[in-house]
């Protein structure tokens, strides 16, 4: 619970701080350019994309310092298409990322994914006044393929995630504030969040918060989303930055446990062909129980009694500790890049 409150507080402070700073800057600009006609009034489509493909290889032979051979490939595609005409706005984002890595030598060494994401956002709005819109939002998020934690799990095909397992769908109605073309704040008091686990072996275990044997879990609650996009932040040329922060509270079941997602993507263009990208993704969902491991990420943590003995399941195996925890992922890649 403390972790959830801390994560939510940090994320909310960041979002509000950025939001307020942008409003202040926007007000200052408007005071200086009151005679100018807003460019947004004539805007129809604004489109853009980032496409990055990276490759990394390490080969060691009789290396005194030790280490392992490794090879990795990673790709990222981020697209957006925003429409504005008269009093109608329509914002669309599509993000795809996938990466694999292999450590060690030999055909029996498996590949593991180190990035896997599919996400689509669409928001339709009707202008109420200068900065406010009546809006509806749709969000869908899932992954491409199986997820494993260890070599043993992969060899035994003991996966913990799969395509559409989980998948998350959000439908929300509310108000959207757009103080400028870089920042939006969407507030929805009426939101439906669906969690899908369309894999029989995972749904039978009640994975990702669904009831055992069920494939869908629906929640009704409140939803807030901050979205920020900036080209050449701090006047740094060839750099683009975007960040999305979402908060969701279930009205019926433990509303104090707020679901948080916070992502950032920074891209630095190097020449006409190459780019350096840095992406981060933070998630907290109280309904997702994450298996716990020691700091090495390999040795499982098991439930223990006060006397030091372990709790056992029906097969006499130790029961691994699980529970909600803040998830964080960061990925950096240098590779071929195309911007449109």
Instruction: Measure the CA–CA gap between 248 and 255, rounded to whole angstroms.
Output: 9
Domain assignment present for 170: yes
Instruction: Measure the CA–CA gap between 275 and 340, rounded to whole angstroms.
Output: 13
- Residue count of the chain, please give it: 340
Task: Give the pLDDT of residue 81.
Answer: 93
Domain assignment present for 296: no
Q: Which domain holds residue 257?
A: 2-33+45-60+67-289+324-339
Task: Give the pLDDT of residue 66.
Answer: 76
Tell which residue, 145, 90, 99, 139, has the closest CA to residue 119: 139
Q: Give the domain CATH number at 172.
A: 2.40.230
Distance of CA 339 to the CA centre of its chain: 21
Residue with the bigger pLDDT between 96 and 52: it is 96
Tell which residue, 134, 140, 133, has the closest CA to residue 117: 140
Quick one: tokens of 11?
A: 């994320």
Task: Give the pLDDT of residue 234.
Answer: 86
Among 62-66, 128-132, 334-338, name the most confident range: 128-132
Domain assignment present for 40: no
Q: How far is CA 337 from CA 49, 50, 73, 272, 326, in A?
A: 10, 7, 14, 8, 31
Burial of residue 221 (number of CB atoms within 10 Å: 0-12, 13-18, 19+)? buried
Task: Give the pLDDT of residue 340.
Answer: 62
pTM exceeds 0.85 for this model: no
**Contacts of 155 by beta carbon, 8 Å cutoff, 6+ apart:** 110
Task: Give the pLDDT of residue 145.
Answer: 96
pLDDT tens profile 202-240: 999 999 999 999 999 999 999 999 999 998 998 899 999
Tell which residue, 70, 105, 86, has the closest CA to residue 38: 86
Per-residue burial over 173-197, b = 16 or more CB atoms within 10 Å of its CB, e = otherwise: ebebbbbeebbbbbebeebebebbb
Q: How many CB atoms lie within 10 A of CB 78?
A: 21
Give yes or no for a contact between 105 and 57, defined as CB atoms under 8 angstroms apart. Answer: no
Q: pLDDT above 90 covers what percent of the chain?
A: 53
Domain assignment present for 311: no
Task: Give the pLDDT of residue 4.
Answer: 52
Say whether pLDDT at 40 is over 60. Answer: no
Give yes or no for a contact between 185 and 177, defined as CB atoms under 8 angstroms apart. Answer: yes
Q: How many CB atoms lie within 10 A of CB 234?
A: 7
Domain assignment present for 24: yes
Domain assignment present for 302: no
Mean pLDDT of the chain: 85
Q: For the chain, what is the domain count?
A: 1
pLDDT tens profile 125-176: 999 999 999 999 999 999 999 999 888 889 889 999 999 999 999 999 999 9
Say whether pLDDT at 23 is over 80. Answer: no
Task: Give the pLDDT of residue 217.
Answer: 96
């Amino acid at each position: 619970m403390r972790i959830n409150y801390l994560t939510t507080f940090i994320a909310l402070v960041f979002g509000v701080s950025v939001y307020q700073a942008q409003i202040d800057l926007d007000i200052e600009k408007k005071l200086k350019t009151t005679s100018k006609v807003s460019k947004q009034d004539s805007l129809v489509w604004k489109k853009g994309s980032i496409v990055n493909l990276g490759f990394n290889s390490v080969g060691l032979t009789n290396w005194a310092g030790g280490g392992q051979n490794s090879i990795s490939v990673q790709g990222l595609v981020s697209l957006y298409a925003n429409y504005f005409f008269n009093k109608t706005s329509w914002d669309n984002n599509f993000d795809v990322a996938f990466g694999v890595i292999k450590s060690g030598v030999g055909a029996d060494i498996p590949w593991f994914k180190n990035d896997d994401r599919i996400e689509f956002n669409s928001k339709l709005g009707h202008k109420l006044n200068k900065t406010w819109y009546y809006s509806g939002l749709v969000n869908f998020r899932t992954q491409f393929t199986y997820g494993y934690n260890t070599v043993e799990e992969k060899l035994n095909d003991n996966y913990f995630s799969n395509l559409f397992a989980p998948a998350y769908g959000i439908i929300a109605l509310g108000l959207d504030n757009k103080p400028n073309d870089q920042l939006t704040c969407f507030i929805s008091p009426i939101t439906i969040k669906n969690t899908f686990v369309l894999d029989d072996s995972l749904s039978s275990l009640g994975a990702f918060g669904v009831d055992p044997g069920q494939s869908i879990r629906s929640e009704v609650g409140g939803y807030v989303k901050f979205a920020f996009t900036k080209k050449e932040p701090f006047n740094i040329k060839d750099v683009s930055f975007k960040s999305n922060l979402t908060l969701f509270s279930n009205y019926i079941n433990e509303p104090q446990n707020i679901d948080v997602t916070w992502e950032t993507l920074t891209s630095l263009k190097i020449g006409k062909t190459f780019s350096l990208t840095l992406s981060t993704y933070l998630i907290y969902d109280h309904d997702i129980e994450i298996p716990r491991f020691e700091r090495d990420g390999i040795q499982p943590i098991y439930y223990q009694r006060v006397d030091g003995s372990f709790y056992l399941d029906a097969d006499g195996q130790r029961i691994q500790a699980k529970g909600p925890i803040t998830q964080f992922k960061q990925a950096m890649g240098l590779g071929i890049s195309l911007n449109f």
